[in-house]
Amino acid sequence: MVNFGKKLMADQVEEWKGYYINYKLMKKMLKQYVQQTQLGGKDREQVLKEFSRILDEQIERIVLFLLQQQGHLANRIEELGEQRAALLEQHDISQVFQLREAYREVGRDLIKLLRFVDMNATGIRKILKKFDKRFGYRFTDYYVTTRANHPYSQLQQVFKQVGIVAVVGALSRNLAYLQDHEGSVLSIYDHPSVTLKDPIIDQVNHAVQKLTHATSFLQFLGQHALIIQEDVQSGSEDLVDDQSYHFMSLLLNLVNTFLYMVNTYIIVPTADDYSVSLGAAATVCGVIIGSMAVAQVFSSVYFSAWSNKSYFRPLVFSSIMLFSGNLLYALAYDLNSLTVLLIGRLLCGLGSARAVNRRYISDCVPLKIRLQASAGFVSASALGMACGPALAGLLQTRFKIYSLTFDQSTLPGWVMCIAWVVYLLWLWISFKEPGHFAKSSDTAQPAESGHQVNANLEEGLAQPLLTGSEEGQDQNAENNDDNEEESKNSHGPATSMSSAYKLLTPSVKVQLLIYFMLKYAMEILLSESSVVTTYYFNWSTSAVAIFLAILGCTVLPVNAIVGSYITNLFEDRQILVASEIMVLIGIIMSFRYTLHYSVPQYVLSALITFVFAEVLEGVNLSLLSRVMSSRLARGTYNGGLLSTEAGTLARVVADATITAAGYLSPDLLLNITLLPPLVICIASLVATFCTYNTLY
């Protein structure tokens, strides 16, 4: 791999050479400062101020040139607009093609300008990390805090790119008018859902969306799925083409996700009654619910590894395990065996193929629809979470067939048995095994020269300015930035859980802690809901099921509001902190402070906790996908697996807490189980503030 300094020199636009970041000078100054501090010639505070001034001057030159070029593009569009108006008045259709090509030429120059921004943004990011590494000082924190948050910030010009987006809008609007020049008044502003079919606009839009981290509802949901895009070092084509893509196989993966979430939550309203009918305490429901999560801790690893070789066989195995587990769960009542019931739930957990579902979307869905597929994954999970308790509420009946009992406790098992048999037959008939399984940088085919710059641009612009998917690579590469090549091992996927852990930066660890906390709080709320509402309010199983279904139904509307509106008004890190605070408020409100515990208090606190935990999860995984190393985007021990393990472990600990607290007085159950999430939530807030300035 060619080092960045040489790549910057090679990829510069000749006439713009004087306006790029002087990366060589910055590295030279950095070495001089290191030597001077070692010899005692300068103290660190002096170095900090001088280097900040030099970097300010570099960024100012870049930004002023950027604004100048945006102005030139705007003037060209304005001139072409006058030609377009005259042309349409004369109805000279023969000149439309030439005018369209002139607009496209502006688009090509705009792509060059976006490439300019990308190269300079990468240089700024790298030089900041170099400073931190050489001096062992959080210069990035200081610089971002003082520059990016300033009302006259020039750094924000590189972050936000409002001017370039306006140029893109003008270009798209005028091309749309030319495309439909026969009298239609179609406008891209009146019809935002209408996509302008123009290759140049497609390339520009794709690049700008990545550069600005635009967060539409689909993008927000896609990031919620934590399907991390692999960082490509050089221009490469998408390995999945339209011919190899199989929609039915994708649909089967989404249905697997939906059924698994239904399977997880369908027993929650009745698990306490089931445990009592088998002679155990009601709070043993924590073990019953949590045993599935215990098995999932292990199944996530082997399913992730299995997906390197096949997708069909893991899904078949998953279906068989889930059928067997639900069968044992249903038979446990007539066998009068709590052991059989727990074994059934363990088998269900061993059938968790969510790692396969994520991996299939990442590897086997074309890039242009991968975002929609990722959003579908999250939507299927949310729908299953709502349908599980709702379905349990409909199964309030009791009858016998021969010696088999069918009631509210066993029917969830029987229903899911039938569902998994039907799914297995559908899978066997319709699933198509892809021709490839794991993408690797070693096997990536080079792009045609005509598309190489655009591919490099689009992939490079996916990275934020100061933190991004290069984190793990930079840790190994920055020491040898002057070398022609770097070790291939420094860019390979993690080969074990310990090597994956070594790639975790403080920012990533904090985000995983937050994910652990929110999953812990949600599991406590959901798993003990039946016990708490029965003890304090005498709710029936149907009432509990309706309550849990309503909570589940809030997921998609809340994500729609956050993804479509809130993320356009605030930074992700601001939403993160606000959501953590609201989750903390919800937990505090849930405590029982007086002898009388009211329904309004419980319902309101549960809604606040659950809704803001959902908001927090989406933003948390969005930030996690940005700050996580690209080496965790592929292989068995990937970022999706780490987040799954963190969330699953949280559920296991939460369910164990409920069962352990059940040995005390039922009156103390609520407050005791709320103490751990309260402490963890406070700890995660403190950790968030400590890493706040790295969350870009």
pLDDT in tens, 415-434: 999 999 999 999 999 999 88
Mean pLDDT of 374-385: 82
* Range from 133-147, 220-234, 527-541 carrying the lowest mean pLDDT: 220-234
**Global pTM?**
0.66
pLDDT of amino acid 696: 58
pLDDT of amino acid 160: 55
* Range from 205-219, 244-258, 333-347, 576-590 carrying the lowest mean pLDDT: 205-219
pLDDT of amino acid 461: 38
* Range from 9-23, 214-228, 288-302, 627-641 carrying the lowest mean pLDDT: 214-228
The angle subtended at Cα 13 by Cα 156 and Cα 210, nearest 5°, is 40
Q: What is the CATH number of domain 4-182+197-226?
A: 1.20.1050
- Extract the tokens encoding 404: 């088999």
pLDDT of amino acid 504: 82
Band of residue 643 on the pLDDT scale cut at 50, 70, 90: confident
pLDDT of amino acid 378: 78
User: What distance in Å separates the CA atoms of residue 182 and residue 274, rounded to the nearest whole number?
Assistant: 70
Tell me which residue has tokens 């727990």: 342
- Digit-coded pLDDT (tens) for 598-618: 999 999 999 999 999 988 887
pLDDT of amino acid 603: 95
Partners of 280 in the β-ladder: none
> Max Cα separation, the chain?
92
Q: What is the mean pLDDT of the chain?
A: 79
* Range from 167-181, 384-398, 405-419, 559-573 carrying the lowest mean pLDDT: 167-181
* Range from 1-15, 180-194, 536-550 carrying the lowest mean pLDDT: 180-194
pLDDT of amino acid 491: 53
Q: What is the per-residue DSSP string for 264-300?
A: HHTTTTTHHHHHHHTTS-GGGHHHHHHHHHHHHHHHH
- Digit-coded pLDDT (tens) for 549-569: 999 888 888 877 887 778 777
Q: What is the DSSP letter of 405?
A: E
Q: What is the DSSP letter of 483?
A: S
pLDDT of amino acid 470: 44
Q: Identify the residue with better confidence: 64 or 40.
A: 64
User: What distance in Å separates the CA atoms of residue 421 and residue 426, rounded to the nearest whole number?
Assistant: 9
Tell me which residue has tokens 């299939």: 360
User: What distance in Å separates the CA atoms of residue 208 and residue 681, rounded to the nearest whole number?
Assistant: 36
pLDDT of amino acid 256: 95
pLDDT of amino acid 525: 92
User: What distance in Å separates the CA atoms of residue 169 and residue 218, rounded to the nearest whole number?
Assistant: 21
CA distances from 95 to 91, 177, 200 (A): 9, 14, 19
Mean pLDDT of 116-120: 84
Residue type, 214: A
pLDDT of amino acid 1: 43
356 pLDDT more than 60: yes
User: Domain residues of the chain, as ranges?
Assistant: 4-182+197-226, 247-432+501-691
CA distances from 398 to 327, 408, 536 (A): 18, 7, 26
* CATH class label, 247-432+501-691: mainly alpha
Mean pLDDT of 649-669: 88
Mean pLDDT of 508-516: 91
pLDDT of amino acid 450: 38
pLDDT of amino acid 158: 61
User: What distance in Å separates the CA atoms of residue 527 and residue 285, rounded to the nearest whole number?
Assistant: 7
Mean pLDDT of 178-198: 50
Mean pLDDT of 80-105: 75
pLDDT of amino acid 471: 45
pLDDT of amino acid 12: 86
- Digit-coded pLDDT (tens) for 269-280: 999 999 999 999
Partners of 400 in the β-ladder: 405
pLDDT of amino acid 161: 56
pLDDT of amino acid 238: 46
- Digit-coded pLDDT (tens) for 329-355: 999 999 999 999 999 999 999 999 988
CA-closest candidate to residue 527, choices 675, 670, 332: 670
483 pLDDT more than 50: no
pLDDT of amino acid 189: 45
- Extract the tokens encoding 610: 């659950």
Band of residue 497 on the pLDDT scale cut at 50, 70, 90: confident
At 399 the three-state DSSP class reads strand
Mean pLDDT of 397-411: 93
- Extract the tokens encoding 114: 């976006």
- Extract the tokens encoding 589: 């409100």
Mean pLDDT of 203-221: 56
pLDDT of amino acid 339: 95
Domains 4-182+197-226 and 247-432+501-691 share a fold: no
